[in-house]
Amino acid sequence: MDVCGVSNFNVFPCVNDPYLTQYLFVAVFVLVAVLFPLVPLALVRVLAPRKPSPTKNATYECGLVSKGDSWIQFRAGYYLYALVYVIFAVETIFLYPWAVAFGGLSFGAFVAMMVFVLLLVEGLVYAWAKGALDWK
Amino acid sequence: MSVAYAPIVRALGSETALVLVALAVLTLDFIIGRKREVAKRRELVGAVALFGLALSAVPLVGQVGMTNVLLPGETLVVNPLVIIFKFVLIVLTAVTVLISIDHDIGTHVGEYFAMLLFGAIGMLLLVGTEEFLTIFVALELTSISLYVLTAFHKNSLRSQEAALKYFLFGAIATAFLLFGLSYIYGLTGATNLRDIGAALAKKGTDPLLGVGLLCVLVGLGFKVAMVPFHLWAPDAYEGAPTPVTAFIATGSKVASFFVLVKVLMVAFAGAVGSAYWGAFESGWAMVLGLTATASMVLGNCAAIVQRNVKRLLAYSSIAHAGYILVGLVAASSTGATAVLFYVIVYAITNLGAFGVVAALASRAGGDDLEHFNGMAKRAPFLSLLMLVFVLSLAGIPPLGGFFGKFYLFAAAVECDAEMFGLLWLVALGIVMSAVSLYYYLVLMKHMYVLPAKDETRIATPGHLKMALAFCAAGVVLLGVFPEPILALLKALVVRL
Amino acid sequence: MTIVFLTLSAITVLGALLAVTLRNLVHCLLALVLFFMGIAGHFFLLKADFLGAVQILIYIGAVAVLILFAIMLTRNISGTEGGRGSLGGAWWLGVGIATTLAGAMCVFVRRSDLVSKLPYGATEEGVVKEIGKLLVTDWVVPLEIMAVLLTAALIGAVVIALEEEKKR
């Protein structure tokens, strides 16, 4: 597989493997994404004049003087949402390969996955009925 | 690729029944929950859970004819030994439910019983598999249910602390287990215990096999609370609601020891090594010989200074893990039989002991030794039962504990008929049993000799008395007639 | 390949070290995310794309968020209270144990024939499809146990996190 003629791209000497060549793009993206914010920050540090004063160092909050700490404590309710989310994210990773292989599977395999999904739905129904998802 | 799902459904009859009951219990409590008092809900929901447990034993009867069926993916095993242990676990869970009905477990009644049943499902699966991936998931199911159950006293800081400690230690042990399994899979390309055994027999020793085996021992050693992976046990046992403590100390131990026996005897039969005196050879027998020594010494010595009954029983259970390991170190089928027999005896005994503590402590105002002063006058029947349990734990004939220990030590002596290489371990075990007699008798002194501050009678409901009397009867019966079950286990273990 | 491997490993180890040494808990979490990303990179390098994607989805997408919320529930997030560094006084003990173990593992791995024996499971149809098939055939029992496990975890978490109902 020759991806856009970059399989001979010899920055990393061993990347002739078509599999890894695909990820070369990801690597380039990551590199750019890291450099993009870092370069201007570095430039500012080099170029900008620095005359700090208490007013300049204050947190900008629509022109008002900021109050209190920005690290506030959240309600436990948020935590429950995140938790339910984790459980269903884990469910996704089981569902996805099943969906990919769906065409060649028997009815029993379908039922097996439905049991899996139903059990988790029952968990969701429970959390819902119990009011864990209520926004209080 | 087609797989026959019918045998899987058949082999999972009990587990399926329990899942349905757990969900039914949740729903039931949710519907009736708002209208009734907590005590009434416990009775109602507990009764449904009991009924479900009885129901889940029915499919086991239908499986009796099936022997050693390895199902698709080789994830499930059905054979008489598995059926016996599933039955034992169901009985243990039922007794735990009976103890719980009478105990303050907060207002989340349905969830409590559902988690108890989920834990039981994990244990049943743990017993019914010979495949590492399934062992791992089942172990996690059991552990997570137990972590949650430990935290059920939501207003008690001790319960929360216990749950956190139990969870953190457990998570790290699980990480070790999984890490070890990854190496074993990498070396053998198999996750099935028999395949691993066969693959290891073909290839020589590999340093990474040692790492993998050690990590697996750490992971399972945590579950059975052997020294040096015992640190969570006293805190978790003390902080958890007492019925939960009983469940952790019995059900999860039975399942874990069953798995440990299978893993070591089937998969790692080629890496035994030796713990014979003067002829140490690296392998699991040597490692377990050392941990057994440490468990017996530390468990018994630390138990002496405890002032809290649950903590005392926790250290005693660490010591008992040590005795049981002695049978494993023997690495023979006699040893494995003795281990399985003792685990059953130990579980029934400990369940009874924690049951008595659960019944009395809430009415006596606490679970320190002082709270049990003069219990013989305040609750003569339960005190008598406690006497039976404690004497069995100490290993006094003719109770089950004595014969269990006797077979364990006999197996250890027998396995090396010429040099008696394990005699040192047996001698230590006997000395430590004598030490243990001291703290068990201290507990008895508090119950039978010291006067109580408050001499009022403690009334306990009939179902609780019945459940505990059942345990006591089991302990006595296993002591008086150990032969039938021992012979049965022996015949089945040989075929393992 | 070696360069990629070394870069990823450096990122992973750096993330792990920062996660246990930084004082501000949110910064620790960000370092942990860096570590997760390094691990995901390793998965991709090992041609386990699906695992790499799962690592990103579950660990960076879900677990990191969960940890963030858990951190937000606590006091002293910025790590300004309390005297010592987050490693405490016995840091050298931890470093010693870690180095010893890592050294021993290096020796073991080099002496073992583990690496040459590892099968590479991808078929023509692709790994994901193969995993999907195996999940509902050979490994259907662990799959269903996973479902029970996740349900139990969900119920358990809700019970622990919810406030106690009013006593009646």
CA–CA gap between residue A116 and residue B22 (Å, rounded): 16
Establish if A11 belongs to a structural domain: yes
Q: Which of B455, B451, B463, B453 minimizes the C-alpha distance to B359?
A: B463
3-state class (DSSP) for residue A43: helix
Q: Which of B75, C61, B47, B315 minimizes the C-alpha distance to A82?
A: C61
Residues 6+ positions from B144 with CB-CB distance below 8 Å: C149, C152, C153, C156
The confidence score (pLDDT) of residue B16 equals 93
Q: Nearest-CA distance from A49 to chain C in Å?
A: 29
The confidence score (pLDDT) of residue A9 equals 45
Establish if A33 belongs to a structural domain: yes
Establish if A50 belongs to a structural domain: yes
Establish if B85 belongs to a structural domain: no
Q: How confident is the model at residue C21 (pLDDT cuts 50, 70, 90)?
A: confident
Q: How many residues belong to chain C? A: 168
B115 in contact with C, Cβ within 8 Å? yes
Chains with 3+ CB–CB pairs under 8 A to B are A, C
What are B381-402's pLDDT values in tens digits?
A: 999 999 999 999 999 888 999 9
Q: Which residue on chain C is closest to A81 by alpha carbon?
A: C66
Distance of CA B472 to the CA centre of its chain: 17
The confidence score (pLDDT) of residue B215 equals 92
Q: Which of C31, C37, C18 minimizes the C-alpha distance to C68?
A: C31
Cβ contact, residue pair C47, A19, below 8 Å: yes
Q: Which residue on chain A is closest to C141 by alpha carbon?
A: A112
CA–CA gap between residue B156 and residue B163 (Å, rounded): 11
Amino acid at C168: R
Q: Which helix (H) or strand (E) holds C39?
A: helix C25-45
Mean pLDDT, all residues of chain C: 83
A8 lies in the same domain as A55: yes
CA–CA gap between residue B290 and residue A37 (Å, rounded): 57
- Virtual torsion, Cα B349, B352, B353, B359, nearest 10 deg: 180
The confidence score (pLDDT) of residue C114 equals 65
Is there a contact between B329 and B422 (Cβ–Cβ < 8 Å)?
yes
What are A61-118's pLDDT values in tens digits?
A: 777 777 776 666 667 677 888 888 888 899 989 999 999 988 888 888 899 999 999 9
Q: How confident is the model at residue C68 (pLDDT cuts 50, 70, 90)?
A: confident
What is the domain count for chain B? Answer: 1
The confidence score (pLDDT) of residue B461 equals 87
A40 lies in the same domain as A1: yes
Establish if A110 belongs to a structural domain: yes
The confidence score (pLDDT) of residue A29 equals 92
The confidence score (pLDDT) of residue A106 equals 87
The confidence score (pLDDT) of residue C82 equals 58
Is there a contact between B468 and B382 (Cβ–Cβ < 8 Å)?
yes
Cβ contact, residue pair C108, B140, below 8 Å: no
The confidence score (pLDDT) of residue C168 equals 35
For the domain made up of C1-79, give the CATH fold: Four Helix Bundle (Hemerythrin (Met), subunit A) (1.20.120)
Is there a contact between B309 and B390 (Cβ–Cβ < 8 Å)?
no
Cβ contact, residue pair C73, A112, below 8 Å: no
Instruction: Take residue B466 and report the two structure tokens written for it.
Output: 């019945």
Q: In this complex, which of B5, B23, B30 lies closest to A108 when CB atoms are compared? A: B5
The confidence score (pLDDT) of residue C166 equals 46
The confidence score (pLDDT) of residue C86 equals 54
**Where exactly are the structural domains of chain C?**
1-79, 87-116, 125-168
Q: In this complex, which of B1, B19, B26 lies closest to A126 when CB atoms are compared? A: B26
**Angle at CA B493, nearest 5°, toward B177 and B178?**
5
Q: Nearest-CA distance from A107 to chain B in Å?
A: 10
Cβ contact, residue pair B2, A126, below 8 Å: no
Residues of chain A in contact with residue C68, where contact means CB-CB under 8 angstroms, are 82
Question: Does A5 have pLDDT greater than 60?
Answer: no
CA–CA gap between residue B95 and residue B86 (Å, rounded): 14
Cβ contact, residue pair C150, A96, below 8 Å: no
In the stretch 45-74 of chain A, residues with CB closer than 8 A to chain C read 71-74
Question: Does A1 have pLDDT greater than 50?
Answer: no
Interface predicted TM-score of the whole assembly (ipTM), two decimals:
0.91
Q: Which of B185, B210, B310, B294 minimizes the C-alpha distance to C105?
A: B210
Most confident of the following: B416-420, C122-126, C152-156: C152-156
Residues of chain A in contact with residue C8, where contact means CB-CB under 8 angstroms, are none
A56 lies in the same domain as A99: no
Q: What is the DSSP letter of C46?
A: T
Question: Does A21 have pLDDT greater than 80?
Answer: no
CA–CA gap between residue B227 and residue B229 (Å, rounded): 5
Residues 6+ positions from B268 with CB-CB distance below 8 Å: B196, B197, B200, B213, B284
Residues of chain B in contact with residue C157, where contact means CB-CB under 8 angstroms, are 148
Q: In this complex, which of B2, B5, B23 lies closest to A122 when CB atoms are compared? A: B23
CA–CA gap between residue B114 and residue B100 (Å, rounded): 12
For chain A, first and last CA: distance in Å? 55
A64 forms bridges with which residues in the sheet?
A: A61
A28 lies in the same domain as A86: no
Q: How many residues belong to chain A? A: 136
The confidence score (pLDDT) of residue C124 equals 58
Establish if B43 belongs to a structural domain: no
The confidence score (pLDDT) of residue C2 equals 81
Structural domain harbouring B319:
272-496
Amino acid at C144: E
CA–CA gap between residue B472 and residue B384 (Å, rounded): 10
A3 lies in the same domain as A56: yes
Establish if A136 belongs to a structural domain: no
CA–CA gap between residue B288 and residue B321 (Å, rounded): 11
A61 lies in the same domain as A101: no
Cβ contact, residue pair B144, C137, below 8 Å: no
Residues of chain B in contact with residue C118, where contact means CB-CB under 8 angstroms, are 186
- DSSP assignment of B293-350 equals HHHHHHHHHHHHT--BHHHHHHHHHHHHHHHHHHHHHT-SHHHHHHHHHHHHHHHHHH
Within a 10 A sphere around the Cβ of C66, how many other Cβ atoms?
A: 16
The confidence score (pLDDT) of residue B94 equals 95
Better-predicted residue by pLDDT, B174 or C125: B174
Instruction: Take residue B358 and report the two structure tokens written for it.
Output: 């659960």
What are C50-65's pLDDT values in tens digits?
A: 899 999 999 998 899 8
A80 lies in the same domain as A39: no
- What crossing angle do the helices spanning B157-188 and B132-150 adopt, rounded to 10°? 170
Establish if B107 belongs to a structural domain: no
CA–CA gap between residue B307 and residue C76 (Å, rounded): 36
A63 lies in the same domain as A116: no
Positions of chain B with pLDDT under 70: 1-3, 67-73, 496
Establish if B322 belongs to a structural domain: yes
Structural domain harbouring A6:
1-68
Is there a contact between B374 and B356 (Cβ–Cβ < 8 Å)?
no
Cβ contact, residue pair A129, B30, below 8 Å: yes
Establish if B342 belongs to a structural domain: yes
B5 in contact with C, Cβ within 8 Å? yes
The confidence score (pLDDT) of residue B118 equals 96
Better-predicted residue by pLDDT, C71 or B179: B179
C118 forms bridges with which residues in the sheet?
A: none
Using the structure block, give the residue that is written with the tokens 């003087």: A65
Establish if B52 belongs to a structural domain: no
Amino acid at A116: F
**Interface contacts (A, B; CB < 8 Å):** 15
A41 lies in the same domain as A100: no
In the stretch 84-123 of chain A, residues with CB closer than 8 A to chain C read 84-87, 89-94, 96-102, 104-105, 109-110, 112-113, 115-117, 119-120, 122-123
The confidence score (pLDDT) of residue B157 equals 87
C155 in contact with B, Cβ within 8 Å? yes
What are B45-89's pLDDT values in tens digits?
A: 999 999 999 999 998 888 887 766 666 667 888 888 999 999 999
